[in-house]
Amino acid sequence: MHKIEKILSAILPVLDQWGYVGIGVISLLEATPLVGFIVPGQTIVIISGFLAQNDIFNIWYLMIAASAGAIGGDLIGYILGKKYGHPFIVKYGKYFYLKEENYKKTKDLMTNHVGKALIVGRFTAFTRALAPFIAGIVEVPFIKFIWYNIIGGIAWSVSFVLIGYIFGASYKIVAKSLGVITTTVIVATILLMWLYKVINKKKHIFKKKHIIALIVNVFSLYIFGKMIEDVMRHQLITRFDVWVSEHIMNIWQPLLNKIMIVITGIGSPETVSVFFVAVMIFLLIKRKKYESIFLFSTFSFGMISGFLVKYIVGRFRPAIGLISETGHSLPSGHALGTTLFFMLFMYLFRNCVKNKILKTLFIIGNILMILIISFSRIYLNVHWVSDIIAGISLGIFWFTLAFLSFESVKAFSNAKEINK
């Protein structure tokens, strides 16, 4: 836990010095035409409210910073609208996925209900960054605009800071009973389910396999979080870890030892990285753009997250190992790396094997590689069982998350092609 405190001690001074400025700038950008469509200002303001509940920010300064940014962003939008008008949207809107129909809806609302458009509209995604700009186009009187702008900016900032603040209070209460990591996983699960529902309601792109992937994604995240929390709290799993570590040495045999050392070498992060680079080069040669991005991002983010967790948790390895290993223990880099690579390999090349029996053997072979390499780490007594479970579950989480993202991108791309 001292490493978490060390990281926080490095971050907190930066937040203390620049946090309010950052919130103000983000709130300003989200209220600015076009840019506001891609800046997640509302989400960041909610998170800042959550941090205020945990004494990282002062809630009053936070509200002032967010309000100032929101009001300033609206003012920029108004000035741009008055100066450049509709041609500005026509010329640059396509780069920010701004549809003409959204522009027309906001303009009609502005023409008939100025106050509603500027105050209530601030709480709606596409009108938030567009309404002030259109107010400038239709030449809403400046005094009238600035009045509604101030009311809307303050109302928006206070509301979303308080949402984060209240959520932070609830989080504290629940976390005392369930544990911080478990509670975080539950919250992440709710967000994933909500995101799935929103996307599928609009696009209808998800099938049964995607629902299964989402369930596996959530479950793997829970298992990963549970392993970390139980280890840090010295729960039952740690006693099981010790029992396995003490008894695994009883089955050590010279020939089996050599086999397991070879297997563990095949699954080392260095060796798996070589396999990864080889597959990456193959995909680039074949001009598989999406597949290469999918492979690179999933493997990279997965491995980086594993190293970060290792550093933060700082768990020691078993005392007596058959081979010498350095570095921290949880999650297992071998289990994580092989899970990521072989699941990605299985997914990317599954259609290359046409014969059903061979395809089944191909899938079983990849899964067995993950399990055998992972077991070799337990056999050699260089990892605890919970390290392996955490590594595999983290790998599955990243793979299923990337799979859902990749499938969504493909579905959106196909939909665009059909609409052309």
Tens-digit pLDDT profile for residues 204-256: 545 667 777 777 887 888 788 788 877 877 777 888 888 988 888 888 888 98
Residue 322 host element (H or E): none
Please determine, for residue 369, whether its predicted confidence score (pLDDT) is greater than 80.
yes
- In this structure, what token pair is assigned to residue 133? 């700009």
CB atoms within 10 A of CB 408: 17
Please determine, for residue 325, whether its predicted confidence score (pLDDT) is greater than 90.
no
Nearest to 367 by CA among 387, 394, 332, 396: 396
* b/e 98-107 (16+ beta carbons within 10 angstroms → b): beeebbeebb
**For residue 1, what pLDDT is reported?**
46
DSSP string spanning 25-47? HHHHHHTSTTGGGT--HHHHHHH
* b/e 177-193 (16+ beta carbons within 10 angstroms → b): eebbbbbbbbeebeebe
Please determine, for residue 335, whether its predicted confidence score (pLDDT) is greater than 70.
yes
**For residue 148, what pLDDT is reported?**
83
Q: Which of 53-62, 81-90, 99-108, 172-181 has the lowest mean pLDDT?
A: 172-181
Write the DSSP symbol of residue 58: -
Q: Which of 12-26, 109-123, 384-398 has the lowest mean pLDDT?
A: 109-123
Nearest to 50 by CA among 151, 240, 183: 183
In angstroms, the Cα distances linking 402 to 95, 357, 406, 415 are 25, 27, 6, 20
pLDDT in tens, 271-304: 888 888 999 899 888 888 778 888 888 888 888 8
Q: How confident is the model at residue 186 (pLDDT cuts 50, 70, 90)?
A: low
CB atoms within 10 A of CB 133: 30
**For residue 371, what pLDDT is reported?**
93
94: which residues sit within 8 A by CB, 6+ positions away? none
Please determine, for residue 416, whether its predicted confidence score (pLDDT) is greater than 50.
no
**For residue 127, what pLDDT is reported?**
66
pTM: predicted TM-score of the whole model, two decimal places: 0.59
- Of all residues in the chain, what percent carry a pLDDT higher than 90? 9
274: which residues sit within 8 A by CB, 6+ positions away? none
Q: Residues 384, 227: contact at Cβ < 8 Å? A: no
Q: How confident is the model at residue 374 (pLDDT cuts 50, 70, 90)?
A: very high
In angstroms, the Cα distances linking 393 to 178, 274, 304, 330, 390 are 20, 23, 15, 12, 5
Q: Which of 38-42, 223-227, 317-321, 390-394 has the lowest mean pLDDT?
A: 38-42
- In this structure, what token pair is assigned to residue 83? 């100066």
In angstroms, the Cα distances linking 147 to 13, 25, 116, 144, 288 are 36, 21, 12, 5, 54
Q: How confident is the model at residue 370 (pLDDT cuts 50, 70, 90)?
A: very high
Please determine, for residue 17, whether its predicted confidence score (pLDDT) is greater than 80.
no
Better pLDDT: 203 or 272:
272
Nearest to 213 by CA among 400, 382, 358, 350: 400
Q: How confident is the model at residue 174 (pLDDT cuts 50, 70, 90)?
A: very low
Q: How confident is the model at residue 27 (pLDDT cuts 50, 70, 90)?
A: confident
Q: Residues 331, 306: contact at Cβ < 8 Å? A: yes
pLDDT in tens, 47-85: 788 778 777 788 888 888 888 988 888 888 888 878 777
Please give the Cα distance from 51 to 391 (Å, whole number): 29
